[in-house]
Structure formats: C-alpha cells, structure tokens
Amino acid sequence: MSRTFLAGLALMLAPLAAQAEEVGRVGVDWVGNDVVVEAFDDPKVQGVTCHVAYFSRSVIDRLSQGNWFEDPSYSAVDCAATGPVVLGAIDRSGDGENVFSEGRSLIFKSLKVTRIWDEKNRTLIYLAHASELTQGSGKMSISTVPVP
C-alpha cells in the first residue's frame, strides 16, 4: 500500500473517533518524558466520559534511544458515567467499535480505545490498546461503565 493511500484512509477514518482534550501532563523524569492525560466523550453514548493516559517521549530520550518515530505502547483508560447514560446506535458485536484513536508513531502505531457492549451484564467495556504491526498490542487497560 502506498503512503498516500494510508494517509488518505487515516484522514477519512479520523472523524469517526472522538476527539480528545489534554487535561493533564505529568513530568516523570529529568529528560522531559511525560505521562499525558486526555479526556474524551464517547461519541455514541451520551453521559460517558473517558480519560486515557499514555507515555510521551522527550527529544532527549529519542536521541539517546535512537528511535525517533514512536512512543511506547503503554496506556491506561478509565471511563465513568458523567450524566445519564443513553446508548446511541453502537456496535453490539463482540468485536466492538473504535471510539478513540491517536497516532503514536510516524505511520504504523496508534493508541486506540475500543468500546464493547456486554449485553448480558448491561455494561459498556472500554479497552485501551495499541495497534502495532511489529509487536501487536499486548499492553492494554480496561474500564467498565454499568448501564442501568
């Protein structure tokens, strides 16, 4: 696949995911590495807000490690009912639906939050994970929101 095609595809899919707002940034060491916390509302479920945290590498760290183009796959998510929860037209399959995506490398890695509906327990499950072609997405975090 050409880079032009991949870039076009990314631009077409971008509006489908929620847009996040940075709400905090915590410095973790003297070289400028940070943990960034962003908030986003689920675009199809009224009354649910998620906070996602991820590691952001500094220029000094990138120079010393020799890998300029990506951040680690570490992430965490927590979601809560911030108002009355109203389900919209959500994907109810076991595969879930992408509700947030943010690039974590130049081309191939992104941080994603996928929503899964657990019908039996009437619970929304939010899974934070990386999509990465070389190493998969073994590092993940999960949060649940019960729906009355």
Enumerate the β-bridge partners of residue 131: 110
What does the pLDDT average to over 53-65? 72
The rounded percent of the chain whose pLDDT value lies above 90 is: 36
What does the pLDDT average to over 83-95? 92
Looking at every residue in the chain, the average pLDDT score rounds to 77
DSSP at 52: E
Residue 148 has pLDDT above 60, yes or no: yes
- Please tell me the predicted confidence (pLDDT) of residue 4: 36
How many degrees, rounded to 5, is the angle at CA 25 between CA 19 and CA 29? 140
Distances, alpha carbon 37 to alpha carbons 97, 107, 148, in Å: 22, 22, 28
The rounded percent of the chain whose pLDDT value lies above 70 is: 69
* pTM for the model: 0.72
In what helix (H) or strand (E) does residue 50 lie, and over which residues does it extend? strand 45-56
- Please tell me the predicted confidence (pLDDT) of residue 136: 53
CA-CA distance, 70 to 105, in Å (whole number)?
Answer: 4
* Other beta carbons less than 10 A from residue 49's beta carbon: 17
